[in-house]
Amino acid sequence: MTPFTYERATSPEAAIRAVAGTPGAKFIAGGTNLLDLMKFQIERPTHLVDVRGLPLATIEDTPDGGLRIGALVTNTALAAHPRVKRDYGVVSRAIVAGATGQLRNKASVGGNLLQRNRCPYFYNVHTPCNKRVPGSGCSAIGGASRSLAVVGTSEACIAQNPGDMAVALMVLDAAVETMNAAGNTRSIPLAEFFRLPGETPEIEFALEPGELITAVTLPPPPAGTHHYHKVRDRASYAFAIVSVAAVLDEDGTGRVAFGSVAPRPWRVAEAEAALPEGPAAVVASAFDGAKPTHENAFKIPLAERTLALVIAEGKG
């Protein structure tokens, strides 16, 4: 680990000032991903601003019938919240499918959205990686790529977003509330929050330097049954190979997003519109233009089969 300085922030404004004003500074909340990356010297912040003392850990109903989730709400608390369990089941299911109880106790909602990818070449500091060292090249293309993305990728990067919670939030049309260095707040639709790699895979999120996530908001719950199915190589504590988050209505319409197949939770409007035609039509549309490797091409038929399972469960 590279030496760094550390402070506990006492207000969102002070936290943002500290990060925006210090080159190489980062926020830290649960630290469940950042600390790992610091130990491997993949992340080398010079200064950490601990935001855990900020008053951002509440879950409130919004006037429109939605939910506002503070950025510091733990994954455990969010998954167990009565309204989340009742109205936004896809979120609870996605969260408990991820990590372990211990990690979910530490991980925050805001931090979870910012978790980095799980490409093995990103983790090995001696192999080229455009995310880690922009311009150095992508070792995953032509390398060990079984777990990586098949769609939304670029010649510069095929890393996948490995999250669970974010896939569920994506089907719910969640938005990310932030505050920036000037003290301004804004709401970023989740679909715009995650950037595709293009030629700048090192830029993963639509956040300005020093911009702090303060909350995630959910619109009123959509009608239908909530599903999250995560496919993995072992029963627990593994990143998804493919996951499907869906809210399905009785009439065969609904919403669907795929996890671990793309650099961000993958939700495509045209694909979703094909739900009444069945999983093959949805996947054909959602994965149009996919560029899988020979190691991960199976993710596309797997996505179709997983969606078929979810639809079958919905009819259950």
Kindly list the residues in this chain that would bind other proteins in the complex (CB under 8 A): 1-3, 39, 41, 118, 120-121, 123-124, 126-127, 139, 142-144, 146, 229, 231-239, 241-242, 298, 301-302, 305-306, 308-309, 312
* Cβ-based nearer residue to other proteins, 36 or 270: 36
Alpha-carbon distance of 17 to 188, in angstroms, equals 21
Closest distance of CB 220 from other proteins, Å: 31
Q: Are the beta carbons of 112 and 206 closer than 8 angstroms? A: no
Closest distance of CB 302 from other proteins, Å: 6
User: 157: buried, middle or exposed (CB in 10 Å: 19+, 13-18, 0-12)?
Assistant: buried
* Cβ-based nearer residue to other proteins, 90 or 97: 97
Give how far the C-alpha of residue 240 lies from the chain's centroid of Cα atoms, to the nearest Å. Answer: 12
- R_g (Cα) of the chain, nearest Å: 19
Name, in order, each residue with C-beta under 8 angstroms of 103's C-beta and a sequence gap of 6 or more.
30, 32, 75
Closest distance of CB 50 from other proteins, Å: 18
* Cβ-based nearer residue to other proteins, 139 or 217: 139
* Cβ-based nearer residue to other proteins, 123 or 205: 123
Closest distance of CB 222 from other proteins, Å: 24
Sheet holding 212-218, edge to edge: 59-61, 67-70, 212-218, 175-179, 185-189
Q: Kindly report the number of other CB atoms within 10 A of residue 208's CB atom.
A: 13
Alpha-carbon distance of 60 to 128, in angstroms, equals 44
Closest distance of CB 180 from other proteins, Å: 32
Secondary structure class of 104 (helix, strand, coil) = helix
* Cβ-based nearer residue to other proteins, 130 or 139: 139
Closest distance of CB 95 from other proteins, Å: 17
What backbone torsions phi and psi does residue 167 show, to the nearest 5 degrees? -65, -40
Closest distance of CB 298 from other proteins, Å: 4
Of the candidates 275, 246, 278, the residue with the CA atom closest to the CA atom of residue 259: 246
Q: Which two tokens stand for residue 287?
A: 């994965």
* Cβ-based nearer residue to other proteins, 41 or 58: 41
* Cβ-based nearer residue to other proteins, 47 or 195: 47
